[in-house]
Amino acid sequence: MFALTFSRFGGPEVLEYREVPDPVPGPGQVLVRTRAVGLNYADLYRRRGTYHLRGEPPYIAGYEAAGVVEWAPDGSSFTPGQRVAFADSPFANAELVAVDQERLVALPDDVSFQQAAALLLQGLTADFLTRDSHALRSGERVLIHAAAGGVGGLLVQLAVAAGARVLGLTSGAGKAQRVRDLGAHATALYSEDWVAAARAFAPGGVDVAYDAVGTTLPRTLDALRIGGHAVFYGMAGGDPPPIDPRRLMDENKTLTGGDLWNVLTTADGRRERAGRLFGALRSGALQVPVTATFPLSRGAEAHTELERGSAGKILLLPG
């Protein structure tokens, strides 16, 4: 099979599209032939060497894809030819992937491979953030960082569907328009005084803020009302500075960390959450904009596009 690999850490130029041995499924694994692969910031971090990697080079990045079952063991609930997707199985940047059965999700007929690969990982994250990290309630005033990004755009839509009022933060006017198109009630730019904008949007401060930037965390706390809640779930802009817990005490504010892997622990839970996302997609409550598609062989170009801060989702197409 062919895969997108790297044998050293660095920029997109270290990526190589090359032929490698087919994976051999282990106990409880299913062999999946991919049709669409989701590109995520985590793939950039692995390529750069920020994240720990298993095994020896050449490394194959990627954790999210949709495709067709090529082979399944006897007694499996999956069958050859069945349409499936996964969000948390390694080595997805390849034509064939061996996936633990418990990590596979069956695809409904009305969800395409590209929709599934664009939605699943970031959608599961947004579902978890709006249900587990902070269960959004109708009428709450919400600040969403990087609101034009993959998770951010889904957060905007899920928050609006829950009846919340949403202020989306973006880096440019074009992205701000996209966030408004997704249903946000207002937008602000990072280049302006967005804390003041948040306090104008929600006098006294917002009820909850979702921060995936990291370096912005102190100002995110500034934007909260007394008793407000910040959910910190990413470091796209770098590590956050230390937060003095006395500030949280003095202002009755709550800071919660959010990591999907701590809740995505069972097959039933994974499939229940995925089913909820597919239902929202079906009803029109969720849009999953695909910004660009690249052949897997041109993965370096896709990485470059993502590093430029592309809004929406980028997909890699094998074959």
Residue 107's pLDDT is 97
* Token pair 């897997």: residue: 296
Burial class from Cβ neighbours inside 10 Å (0-12, 13-18, 19+) for residue 288 reads: buried
> Which pLDDT does position 220 carry in this prediction?
98
Walk me through the domains of the chain, giving residue ranges and CATH numbers. 2-120+265-317 (3.90.180.10), 138-257 (3.40.50.720)
For residue 31, the model assigns a pLDDT of: 98
Do residues 41 and 89 make contact, with C-beta atoms less than 8 angstroms apart?
A: no
| Cα–Cα distance measured from residue 149 to residue 156, given in angstroms and rounded to the nearest whole number | 10
> What global pTM score does this model have?
0.91
Nearest 5 degrees, angle CA 62-CA 65-CA 67?
A: 140
* Average pLDDT of adjacent 10-residue blocks, the chain of 319 residues: 96 97 97 97 88 83 96 96 96 97 96 96 95 96 94 96 97 93 97 98 98 96 98 89 95 93 90 95 89 96 88 89
Q: In whole angstroms, give the CA distance from residue 68 to residue 70.
A: 6
Please, are residues 313 and 289 in contact by the beta-carbon 8 Å criterion?
yes
What is the pLDDT at residue 289?
80
Q: Which amino acid is at 194?
A: W
Would you say 280 and 286 are in contact if contact means Cβ atoms under 8 Å apart?
A: yes
